[in-house]
Structure 1
Amino acid sequence: MMRIGMNTLLWTENFRTEEHQGLLWKLKNWDFDGVELVADAIPAAEASSIASMLREVGLQCTTIAALDANVADPASKNPMLRRAAADTLKLAIRNTKELGAELLCGPLFQGLGRFTGRGPEPEEWNYAVETIREAGEYAQDLGIRLALEPLNRFEMYMVNTLREGMRFCREVGLPNVGLLADTHHGNIEESDVETSWQEAAEFIYHVHISENHRGVPGSGHAVPPALFRLLQEIDYDGWLTIEAFSQTVPGLIPRLHIWRAYSEHTDDAARLGIDYIRRHLKAGGTD
């Protein structure tokens, strides 16, 4: 049965127990099943208290991570950056376990912010596969699945489509390493979103519901009603997590180019988005 989550990056990059308990209760009252937290930004001592708070509120969670290419990069030719990437991912995996989650997702193929002006070289690709395999084996021992997210060409050059992601996962060769299918990135990179999701169905471990403009789901064209019919047809039974962004998180503005608001209130992406998702799931993807 599909569960609906909300990525907390709409409000904060640094989720903390005392500061954000009220946010969890709001999400619970809006009928969310869980939240998505940034795993590598949580101090180890904080993870256990967040886990207790999630249990108190009655929410489950998934986690997300992304790597800064200047600090950690699975695909780098620099062994120190590859080592840092593996260590950062292992930290995120441990926090994921401590939070009581079972899945860590994100664009883990490469460090973000690095572009070469060409596609991935075989050496870079192989380095990335090796690094993710190491992290995947570590995650497997802790009962955690990894869902790797292809990003659009303006944010990543290593893996842009689900087909490329399938090739990558096959080379990693671990049953707990699959893909995150994101409607925003698919809207840009896939020639036919429905066909690409059908082809990748067995690899899709996680889904991000994210509009073409990153605003309220259903207010753009990247999350059509037919998407929910497709998910039911491929027997997807994982999370549908809303990923939206706003100008309330200054650190994300230059990274994601969020120059203007797409709704009157920040909360709209969550409050209105879950209504849109539940309505179309119930209707079987019809208008």
Structure 2
Amino acid sequence: MNKLGVHALVWAGDLTPESTRKVLSQTKAAGFDLAELSLHGPKVMDLALTRDLLQEHELDIGCSRGLTFDADVSSEDSATVARGVSMLEEGISVTAELGGGYFGGILYGAMGKYNAPVTKQGRRNAIDSLKRIADFALKKNVTLGLEVVNRYESNLLNTASQALAMIDEVDAPNVVVHLDTYHMNIEESDFMQPVLQCGKRLGYVHIGESNRGYLGSGTIDFSQFFHALAMIDYKGVVTFESFSSTVVNEQLSNALAIWRNLWDDSMDLAKHAREFMAGGINAAARAKSHH
């Protein structure tokens, strides 16, 4: 059975000690195995407290972030690239200090709407930066996940095949593809091919509905997606992601265009998601074993 995770923004918009306490206790109470923390402002985090709470609640941890335009490793400006690299190194260090082994997200450029395609030099800078941070991460036993996101959040990786091509070029053993159903729904032709294409290189999964609300309330073919995961024998983490104007993170909520209120009750949303995911994964596993 896959470990099931939930994104911290289901519970709280920041990682102050008080919010971290809430995030981790609620994650446990809702029945999840892992909390994904978004490192969009790690300065306020109390790492020792977070580590203690993870142990107390017996939870695993995954970390994620996206870069900003002034710290964009796919920029042509070397100072901007350098700021991006140090931001990524900070994220990897925080992940390792928390006892985590996974740092994913938009690690290859800024998270936001670009006004032009990536340049040749910009793409080369992104690849060189990823080579460097993959090396840095390897020494800390951290796997890097390149999250494939839609055209409004990146001009570099919008499909699984683009991510696989970039991973080939980066050529590091600890870089994997991170797929997210919300983004796949916009950019991929279906929910099966990209998963089969990734195969063993799929390292992390985000489950999000087409409207980023309650699972099953939108248009995504989750059954097809869970069957695809079963077909490649995916053993990794499956993390629920949902955003509503009820819980706001200054940087992230606006970057993700969370303008509408899709839910008020975090616990109801999370428990429903956990059941939905476990049910889908189990059904796909049973279907596979009957073939």
Q: What is the TM-score normalised by the length of structure 1?
A: 0.93
Query: 1:123-134, aligned counterparts within 5 Å?
Result: 123-134=121-132
Q: Displacement of 1:40 after TM fit?
A: 5.1
The answer to whether the 8 A contact 1:280-1:286 is kept is no
1:3-43, Cα deviation, whole Å (9 max, x unpaired): 00001022334213333323322221221001001235223
Q: Distance in 2 between matches of 1:216 and 1:12?
A: 17
C-alpha distance in 1 between matches for 2:20 and 2:13 = 11
5+ residue gaps, structure 1: none
Offset, 1:264: 4.8
CA apart distance, 1:200 = 1.2
| Among candidates 208, 229, 232, match of residue 231 of structure 1 | 229
Which position in structure 1 is the counterpart of 2:43? 43
1:20 is aligned to: 20
Q: How many Å separate the matches in 2 of 1:158 and 1:87?
A: 20
Contact 1:16 1:50 in 2 (8 A): no
Matched residue SS, 2:172: coil
Aligned to 1:80: 79
Q: Which residue of 2 aligns with 1:111?
A: 110
The aligned counterpart of 1:152 is 150
Q: What is the aligned partner in structure 1 of residue 166 from structure 2?
A: 168
Q: Does 1:142 align with 2:140?
A: yes
| Match in the other structure for 1:255 | 255
Q: Which amino acid aligns with 2:189?
A: S
Does the 8 Å contact 2:73/2:84 carry over to 1?
Answer: yes
2:27 maps to 1:5:
no
Deviations 1:223-243 (A, max 9, x none): 522322221111111100011
1:212 aligns with 2:214: no
Whichever residue aligns with residue 238 of structure 1, its letter is G
Identity of aligned residues (%): 28
> Contact (CA 8 Å) 1:74, 1:131: kept in 2 or not?
yes
Q: Residue 268 of structure 2 aligns with which residue? A: 268
* Cα pair 1:14 1:42 within 8 Å, conserved: no
SS at match of 1:37: strand
Q: What are the Cα deviations for residues 70-103 of structure 1, in whole angstroms up to 9, with x where unaligned? A: x200111111110001101000000000111100
Structure 2 residue aligned with 1:195: 193
Q: Distance in 2 between matches of 1:223 and 1:266?
A: 23
Aligned with residue 243 of structure 2, among 242, 245, 254: 245
Q: Secondary structure at the match of 1:123?
A: helix
* Unpaired runs of at least 5, structure 2: none
Matched position secondary structure for 1:151: coil
Deviations 1:233-267 (A, max 9, x none): 11111100011111120524432222222235233
CA distance in 2, matches of 1:163, 1:242: 23
Change in Cα spacing, 1:62 to 1:130, as seen in structure 2 (3 Å) is same
Paired residues of 1:152 and 1:160 also in contact (CA < 8 A) = yes
Say if 2:31 and 2:271, in contact at 8 Å, map to a contact too: no
Residue 122 of structure 1, CA deviation: 1.6
> TM-score, length-normalised on structure 2?
0.92
Partner of 1:93: 92
AA of the residue aligned to 2:144: L
CA distance in 2, matches of 1:142, 1:191: 36
**Is the partner of 1:146 in helix, strand or coil?**
strand
Contact 1:104 1:147 in 2 (8 A): yes
Structure 1 residues 40, 249: closer, same or farther in 2, change over 3 A?
Answer: closer
**Which whole-Å CA distance do the structure 2 matches of 1:55 and 1:94 have between them?**
19
Matches of 2:213 and 2:228, distance apart in 1? 22
**RMSD of the alignment, in Å?**
1.9
| Contact 1:107–1:148 (8 Å) recurs in 2 | yes
Secondary structure of the structure 2 residue equivalent to 1:174: coil
Conserved 8 A contact 1:62-1:103: yes
Report deviation, 1:286: 8.1
Partners of 1:286 and 1:235 in 2: how far apart? 12
Contact 1:112-1:156 within 8 A present in 2 as well: yes
C-alpha distance in 2 between matches for 1:19 and 1:109? 28
Q: 1:104 to 1:223 in 2, by over 3 A?
A: farther
